[in-house]
Amino acid sequence: MTETNGHDVANQPPLSPENAEIIKLSRKDFVSDQEVRWCPGCGDYSILAQTQKVMPDFGYPKENIVFISGIGCSGRLPYYMNTYGFHTIHGRAPTLATGLKAARPDLMVWVITGDGDALSIGGNHLIHALRRNVNLKILLFNNRIYGLTKGQYSPTSELGKITKSTPFGSLDAPFNPVSLALGAEATFVARSVDSDRKHLTSVLRAAAEHRGTALVEIYQNCNIFNDNAFEPLKDPDTRDDFTIRLEHGQPIRWGAQGEHAVVRAIDSSLKVVETSEVDESQIVIHDAYADDPSHAFDLSRLADLSLARTPIGVFRSVRRPVYDDLMREQLERAAETQGAGNGTDQLASLLAGSDTWTVG
């Protein structure tokens, strides 16, 4: 591996468990015997296929990979992966994943969640996993609707959205999941689209290679309750003018002929211009490895509800101490400090502490 802009990928610990033999597997090895049961045409099929496709690349045996999901249509994905898995309760997948990763650092742990599961009842759990930087990979399926419960508005539904639960239009300002993750100090944040198989695969690989919490928002079509929600990013007639493909170290340009670009305005905000109207030196260079999240956050704010100027790709990928590593080091120091005394006595002393009372 190479060093890019000071981000030394070669020195990162290997993905596979230490001293483990690299296992040669194929996509078929990760396909379970369960019948896949999503609505015909659902974007989840594509996400599942690309996830199964990239799994052999990481050198992990199936027994060392775990998929943990919450409640929602996305929550079924662990059934279809021939790995270990948990289908947990609503919004709590990051919490269970944190516990598992802390207890079993040798496992590769993936969290599967949706915009309702992650950002409504699970919002608190998500932001704390991100700020702690637990070594998890979180895939957030965003279809801007509650699909499993049949079409209510979700935390990412646009203002004014007419649904079964908002017949006169939603009054809630929607979350921007990428902005939220960056605000929670996430060390890896990316976005992709369910139908863009090549791009989605590359983003999944990048997330897997990251040491720490990696959040990937995936725009996912719900053809039953919110069909064509992301059509401007998929339609060949519009996608080039709507989609900004972020590449580290490259000028931020897009359009069929690269005719649109991003520059810094006088007030330091990002501004969209026509490439022909500015000097090449003025065009912003994407830096996914910048320690300051301001650049990534500004990019996350470019798109509006029409999806014009929607960035996809890796917004941010930086290093920070990993929670499960820090916890393991702390436990090792505590064991060295206390010596090799009786473990039961040490635990009783820790639980009782010095402030105890006898009642009665």
Q: Which residues contact 14 (CB under 8 A, 6 or more apart)?
A: 59
CATH 3.40.50.970 intervals, the chain: 3-249+288-325
Q: What mean pLDDT do residues 81-110 have?
A: 96
Residues in the chain: 360
Of the pLDDT bands very low, low, confident and very high (cuts 50, 70, 90), residue 358 is confident
Q: How many CA atoms lie within 13 A of 134 on its CB side?
A: 27
Q: CA 148 to CA 139: how far, in whole Å?
A: 17
For the stretch 261-280, what's the b/e string if a residue is b when 16 or more beta carbons lie within 10 angstroms of its beta carbon?
bbbeeeeeebeeeebeeeee
CA 9 to chain centroid, in Å, comes to 19
**Residue-level pLDDT at 132:** 97
| Tally of CB atoms within 10 A around 256 | 9
Q: Identify any residues that bridge with 311 across adjacent strands, giving them in sequence order.
A: 244
pLDDT tens-digit series, residues 206-252: 999 999 999 999 999 999 999 999 999 999 999 999 999 999 999 99
Q: What mean pLDDT do residues 22-35 have?
A: 90
Question: Among all chains, which residue has been given the structure tokens 């396909």?
Answer: 31
CA 287-292-295 angle, 5° bins:
50
CA 285 to chain centroid, in Å, comes to 23
Question: Among all chains, which residue has been given the structure tokens 């015909």?
Answer: 40
Residue 13 confidence (pLDDT) above 80:
no
* 7-21, 79-93, 166-180, 257-271: least confidently modelled range: 7-21
Residue 343 confidence (pLDDT) above 70:
no
Residue 9 confidence (pLDDT) above 50:
no
pLDDT tens-digit series, residues 113-152: 999 999 999 999 999 999 999 999 999 999 999 999 999 9
Q: Please state the φ and ψ torsions of residue 69, each to the nearest 5 degrees.
A: -125, 165
In Å, how far are 342, 351, 353, 354 from 359, measured between CA atoms? 28, 17, 16, 16
**Residue-level pLDDT at 331:** 85
CA 260-262-263 angle, 5° bins:
130
Q: How many CA atoms lie within 13 A of 177 on its CB side?
A: 35
**Residue-level pLDDT at 234:** 96
| Tally of CB atoms within 10 A around 100 | 19
Residue 218, Cβ density class (10 Å: 0-12 exposed, 13-18 middle, ≥19 buried): buried
Q: What mean pLDDT, rounded, does the chain reach? A: 90
pLDDT > 70 fraction of the chain, expressed in percent and rounded: 90
Contact 186, 217 (CB under 8 A): no
Q: CA 147 to CA 14: how far, in whole Å?
A: 38
Q: Identify any residues that bridge with 110 across adjacent strands, giving them in sequence order.
A: 67, 137
**Residue-level pLDDT at 122:** 93
CA 77 to chain centroid, in Å, comes to 15
User: In CATH, what class is 3-249+288-325?
Assistant: alpha beta
